């Protein structure tokens, strides 16, 4: 069975390499046509996509429609592709005269896209948009932990594209291992840090470039100069959508000590407003993806003091939206990315101390700051490093198609969305073209003293 799977993967790869070599994917018209096919397929299958997200993650219909947000990526690519793909002129230096130079984006070849389970459709399709726009062939590996969505991805892709152009390979860990054993021209992985290391190690054997979209403990800094109710609503929304299973969800709060009690009260009220007295019965609150993650999250519920939530049900994999007060930096809940509906609350007195605590830890995928103070905003922006920043909101920066999205340090490498996705899946080839009608002899041997002096002036001017 494993050997048969190996053969299937290798045959798909071989067919895609052969199709890529025909040059058909180089055509801008071809790429635009494929993006239009993808757009149409998403529209036609949207009900199935939403239902699959509800089945896999217990998503409310509203949040399930987040998966359809990949349509915005397609629309932007359709609108901007001709501009992205246009060669960029570069002015040669005077000693190159007569010459012209330019940079030409061209496709990499056959790429592998490995998706996660938390947004199992959107985070497969969004990078695919960049791969198609750049003119590549692609193999998609959806997460086996979201099986209903994986089936829908496979159905949609097979309805829209030939396998020799875009293919889907379903399966578990053994299929991922078989894929990673092959040589690709680029690997795009979204998931956790531990698997990201495995992907990078496998890619290194073939010197394959990688994009790693990982995660981390994204801090949320709260100053005392804020709109209290708006701040509380935006934090609670960003933390508890998809039951906290969002790579850029606020992982912990760092709150100015003076307003901590009032903010906690506002957060408690926001939870009640969103999900009612019994969040377990709310149609607007999701569930944990599987038992392994449920049990992992359960261990964090004993840290600190529970000031909201704390209830759980292993039969339905329900964990209430939970706020933890009196948490220490050394507690287990503060050691790894939580990736669930548990929000620790810590306090600070001086902004410099809060920044120092953030900077002492691995660089996060996102950083959030709530403050009206322009100087403090600039201080945080200049003194911290993170994949992205959102001021006075959470999560919403990911919804701006023109903003590159990606991590830094342990939260990932490379970026995508909009032109950044096109660039990720492109090689920017540098080209110099010279004429024959003038050829000064200063660079040719024999290297006389006069030519040496001329060359010194050229390189030191």
Cβ contact 364:216 at 8 Å: yes
Position 367 scores a pLDDT of: 98
Over residues 355-361, the mean pLDDT reads: 96
Over residues 82-111, the mean pLDDT reads: 94
Over residues 386-394, the mean pLDDT reads: 97
pTM of this structure: 0.94
φ, ψ at 87 (rounded to 5°): -60, 145
Position 5 scores a pLDDT of: 53
Give the whole-number percent of the chain exceeding pLDDT 70: 98
Q: Is the predicted pLDDT of residue 293 greater than 90, yes or no?
A: yes
Position 4 scores a pLDDT of: 44
φ, ψ at 293 (rounded to 5°): -70, -35
Q: Is the predicted pLDDT of residue 202 greater than 50, yes or no?
A: yes
CB atoms within 10 A of CB 12: 20
Using one digit for the tens of pLDDT, what is the confidence trace for 218-231? 999 999 999 999 99
Cβ contact 70:126 at 8 Å: yes
247 is a catalytic site residue: yes
Cβ contact 348:369 at 8 Å: no
Angstrom distances, CA of residue 284 to CA of 148, 234, 235, 279, 303: 20, 16, 16, 8, 26
Angstrom distances, CA of residue 75 to CA of 27, 69, 158, 197, 426: 19, 10, 21, 33, 19
Give the whole-number percent of the chain exceeding pLDDT 90: 91
Using one digit for the tens of pLDDT, what is the confidence trace for 49-60? 999 999 999 999
Position 222 scores a pLDDT of: 98
C-alpha 27/C-alpha 38 separation (Å) is: 17
Using one digit for the tens of pLDDT, what is the confidence trace for 8-23? 999 999 999 999 999 9
Q: Is the peptide bond before 96 cis (omega within 30 degrees of 0)?
A: no
φ, ψ at 121 (rounded to 5°): -95, -55
Q: Is the predicted pLDDT of residue 196 greater than 70, yes or no?
A: yes
Position 7 scores a pLDDT of: 59
Position 455 scores a pLDDT of: 84
φ, ψ at 174 (rounded to 5°): -65, -35
Using one digit for the tens of pLDDT, what is the confidence trace for 114-143? 999 999 999 999 999 999 999 999 999 999
- Using pLDDT thresholds of 50, 70 and 90, give the confidence band for residue 456: confident
C-alpha 112/C-alpha 180 separation (Å) is: 9
Over residues 256-263, the mean pLDDT reads: 97
* Residue of 137, 247, 390, 410 marked active site: 247
Over residues 331-340, the mean pLDDT reads: 96
**Of 33, 32, 69, 35, nearest to 49 (Cα)?**
69
100 is a catalytic site residue: no
Position 6 scores a pLDDT of: 58
Instruction: Give the chain's mean pLDDT.
Output: 95
* Residue of 73, 213, 337, 410 marked active site: 213
Position 402 scores a pLDDT of: 87
Cβ contact 322:308 at 8 Å: yes
* Backbone Cα Rg of the chain: 25
Domains of the chain plus CATH, in order, are 2-214+413-428 (3.40.605.10), 219-406 (3.40.309.10)
Using one digit for the tens of pLDDT, what is the confidence trace for 399-426? 898 899 999 999 999 999 999 999 999 9
Position 2 scores a pLDDT of: 38
**Of 180, 127, 182, nearest to 153 (Cα)?**
127
């Amino acid at each position: 069975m494993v050997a048969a799977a190996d053969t299937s993967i290798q045959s798909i790869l071989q067919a895609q390499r052969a199709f890529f070599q025909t040059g058909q994917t180089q055509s801008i018209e071809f790429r635009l046509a494929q993006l239009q096919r993808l757009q149409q397929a998403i529209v036609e299958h949207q009900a199935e996509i939403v239902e699959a997200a509800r089945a896999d993650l217990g998503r409310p219909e509203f949040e399930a429609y987040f998966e359809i947000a990949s349509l915005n990526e397609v629309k932007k690519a359709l609108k901007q592709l001709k501009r992205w793909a246009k060669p960029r002129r570069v002015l040669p230096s005077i000693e190159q005269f007569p010459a012209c130079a330019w940079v030409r984006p061209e496709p990499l070849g056959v790429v592998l896209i490995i998706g996660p389970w938390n947004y199992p459709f959107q985070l497969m399709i969004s990078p695919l948009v960049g791969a198609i726009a750049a003119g590549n062939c692609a193999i998609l590996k959806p997460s086996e932990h979201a099986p209903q969505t994986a089936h829908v991805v496979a159905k949609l892709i097979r309805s829209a594209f030939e396998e020799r152009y875009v293919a889907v390979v379903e399966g578990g860990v053994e299929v991922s291992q078989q894929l990673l054993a092959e040589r690709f021209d680029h690997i795009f992985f979204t998931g956790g840090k531990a698997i990201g290391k495995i992907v990078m190690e496998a890619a290194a054997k073939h010197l394959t470039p990688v994009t790693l979209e990982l995660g981390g403990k994204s801090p949320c800094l709260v100053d005392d100069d804020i709109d209290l109710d708006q701040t509380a609503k935006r934090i609670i929304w960003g933390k508890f959508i998809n039951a906290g299973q969002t790579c850029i969800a606020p992982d912990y709060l760092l709150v100015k000590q003076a307003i901590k009690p009032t903010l906690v009260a506002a957060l408690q009220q926001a939870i009640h407003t969103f999900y009612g007295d019994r969040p377990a019965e709310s149609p607007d609150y999701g569930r944990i993806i599987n038992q392994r993650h449920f049990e992992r999250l359960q261990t964090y519920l004993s840290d600190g003091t529970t000031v909201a939530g704390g209830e759980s049900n292993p039969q339905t994999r329900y964990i209430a939206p939970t706020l933890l007060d009196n948490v220490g930096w050394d507690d287990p809940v503060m050691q790894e990315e939580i990736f669930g509906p548990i929000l620790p609350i810590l306090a600070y007195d001086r902004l410099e101390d809060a920044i120092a605590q953030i900077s002492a830890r691995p660089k996060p995928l996102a950083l959030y700051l709530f403050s009206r103070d322009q100087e403090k905003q600039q201080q945080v922006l200049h003194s911290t490093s993170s994949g992205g920043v959102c001021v006075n909101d959470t999560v919403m920066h990911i919804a701006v198609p023109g903003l590159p999205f990606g991590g830094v340090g342990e939260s990932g490498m490379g970026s995508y969305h909009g032109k950044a996705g096109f660039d990720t899946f492109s090689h920017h080839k540098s080209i110099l073209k010279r004429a024959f009608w003038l050829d000064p002899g200063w660079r040719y041997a024999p290297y006389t003293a006069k030519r040496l002096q001329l060359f010194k002036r050229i390189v030191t001017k």
